[in-house]
């Protein structure tokens, strides 16, 4: 897994994140989510940790490292995290560390992704995968502790969603634990089906099998359409408010070149233009911000020379 983002980047995320008066946003976050996003608890890494869990990938937009330390009584005395992701990912990881402190390992194993969401006063349905990521990191950390640091278990089974590498057992478990009924809900909870869409039939079959009856998709509500001018203005605003300040901290910058439908063309400037990780920056950071604050259908490409 790619290295989690450093603490100073977390601080910049907090400083530049959240709702701004008069600006349009995609998600309706609870006050507690925004508190844990702007003021995350327990950020960091425990060097002599008893349990270490690393899940996700920056290439997919979310990555999380969770570490915990036990006291002499076998309870979790300290838990810390580092993450790469959106406001919900940061808030979910922060909440998780608060939830497990003081628990025995056995009690921590009983924590579910819904417990994380409930602790935060709820999460937008489209962001429930962040709570699932937290639960997976906790499981990986507990397994690391129980096995003495052996590589974490890899779920066996056919890969259903090739875009995000989600296996059939993972989808089946998430469906059962969260009582999911539609492909859209599965995507919200684990991202499966959120890429090319080629796995939708397989996900429907899993849903039907778990429910014992064919799963029916609810009518899709029409999305409000932005005019081209509105879309360009909103993209420029998000780049200026959410993206450019962070890039400039590292000597980089970004320029909007063109918008064609849902295709956004940008040019990386300064150090970002020569950075080997610019591909991750484009899709994992710039793309994530634009899809969160403008439209989930947007794709981001760098201007070809």
Q: Domain of 73: which CATH number? A: 3.90.1010.10
Residue 132, burial from CB neighbour count under 10 angstroms (0-12, 13-18, 19+): buried
| Residue 250 lies inside a defined structural domain of this protein | yes
Residues 131 and 167 in one domain: no
**Taking every pair of C-alpha atoms in the chain, what is the biggest distance, in angstroms?**
62
Asked if 116 and 76 sit in the same domain, the reply is: yes
Tell me the C-alpha distance between 226 and 295, whole Å: 9
Identify the helix (H) or strand (E) that includes residue 189: helix 183-190
Taking each helix axis as running N to C, give the angle between helix 128-146 and helix 87-100, from 0 to 180 degrees, rounded to the nearest 10. 40
In degrees and rounded to multiples of 5, residue 52 shows phi and psi of: -130, 125
Looking at residue 246, which CATH number applies to its domain?
3.30.300.130
How many domains in the chain? Answer: 3
* 57 neighbors 96 (Cβ within 8 angstroms): no
CATH code of the domain covering residue 163: 1.10.10.1100
**Which residue is associated with the tokens 């838990």?**
79
Three-state secondary structure call for residue 66:
strand
pLDDT at position 150 is 64
Please indicate whether residue 199 is annotated as part of the active site: no
Q: Are residues 12 and 141 in the same domain?
A: yes
Give the pLDDT confidence score for residue 243 in this predicted structure. 85
Asked whether residue 218 is assigned to any structural domain, the reply reads: no
Q: Are residues 174 and 64 in the same domain?
A: no
Give CA–CA dist 290/94, Å, rounded. 24
Give domain status of residue 18, yes or no: yes
Of 60, 86, 190, 272, catalytic = 60
Reference 56, options 99, 103, 18, 5; nearest CA is 5
Distance CA 281, CA 277 (A): 6
Instruction: Measure the CA–CA gap between 115 and 212, rounded to whole angstroms.
Output: 26
Is residue 93 a contact partner of residue 64, using CB atoms and an 8 Å limit? Answer: yes
Task: List the catalytic residue out of 86, 130, 161, 199.
Answer: 130
| Measured CA distances, 42 to 37, 39, 82, 187, 265 (Å) | 12, 10, 9, 29, 37
Range of the domain at 279: 228-302
Q: Is 272 a catalytic residue?
A: no
Pairing, β 159-161 against β 166-167: antiparallel
Q: Per-residue confidence of the chain (305 residues) as pLDDT tens digits?
A: 333 434 444 344 344 444 333 333 446 789 999 999 999 999 999 999 999 999 876 556 678 999 999 999 999 999 999 998 788 999 999 999 999 999 999 999 999 999 999 999 999 888 999 999 999 999 999 999 998 876 544 445 678 887 677 889 889 989 998 999 999 999 889 888 877 778 899 999 999 988 876 545 555 555 567 788 888 888 988 888 888 888 888 788 889 989 888 899 998 888 777 776 666 667 677 888 888 888 888 888 888 76
280, two tokens: 């991750």
CA distance 175 to 212: 13
Q: What is the dihedral of CA 150, 151, 157, 163, to 10 degrees?
A: 170
125 shares its domain with 23: yes
Domain boundary among 182, 211, 240: 211
Which residue has 């890969």 as its token pair?
159
**pLDDT at position 165:** 76
Is the same domain home to 11 and 128? Answer: yes
| Within-domain flag for 39 | yes
Do 260 and 179 fall within a single domain?
no
């Amino acid at each position: 897994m790619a290295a989690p983002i450093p603490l100073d980047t977390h601080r910049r995320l907090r400083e530049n994140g959240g709702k701004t008066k008069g600006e349009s946003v995609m998600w309706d976050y609870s006050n507690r989510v925004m508190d844990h996003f702007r003021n995350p608890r327990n950020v960091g890494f425990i060097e002599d940790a008893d349990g270490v869990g690393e899940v996700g990938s920056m290439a997919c937009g979310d990555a999380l490292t969770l570490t915990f330390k036990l006291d002499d009584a076998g309870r979790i005395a300290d838990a810390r995290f580092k993450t790469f992701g959106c406001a919900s990912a940061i808030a979910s990881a922060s909440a998780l560390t608060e939830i497990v402190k003081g628990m025995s390992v056995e009690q921590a194993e009983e924590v579910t992704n819904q417990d994380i969401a409930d602790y935060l006063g709820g999460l937008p349905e489209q962001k429930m995968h962040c709570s699932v990521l937290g639960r997976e990191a906790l499981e990986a950390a507990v397994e690391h502790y129980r096995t003495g640091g052996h590589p974490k278990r890899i779920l066996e089974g056919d890969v259903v969603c090739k875009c995000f590498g989600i296996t059939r057992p993972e989808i089946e478990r998430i469906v059962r634990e969260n009582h999911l009924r539609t492909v859209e809900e599965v995507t919200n909870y684990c991202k499966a089906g959120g890429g090319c869409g080629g796995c939708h039939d397989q996900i429907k079959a899993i849903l039907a099998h778990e429910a014992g009856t064919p799963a029916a998709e609810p009518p899709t509500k029409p999305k409000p359409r932005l005019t081209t001018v509105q879309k360009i203005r909103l993209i420029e605003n998000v780049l200026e408010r959410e993206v450019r300040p962070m890039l400039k901290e590292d000597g980089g910058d970004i320029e909007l070149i063109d918008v064609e439908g849902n295709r956004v063309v940008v040019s990386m400037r300064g150090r970002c233009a020569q950075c080997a990780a610019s591909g991750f920056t484009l899709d994992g950071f710039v793309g994530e911000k634009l899809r969160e604050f403008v439209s989930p259908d947007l794709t981001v490409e760098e201007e070809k020379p």
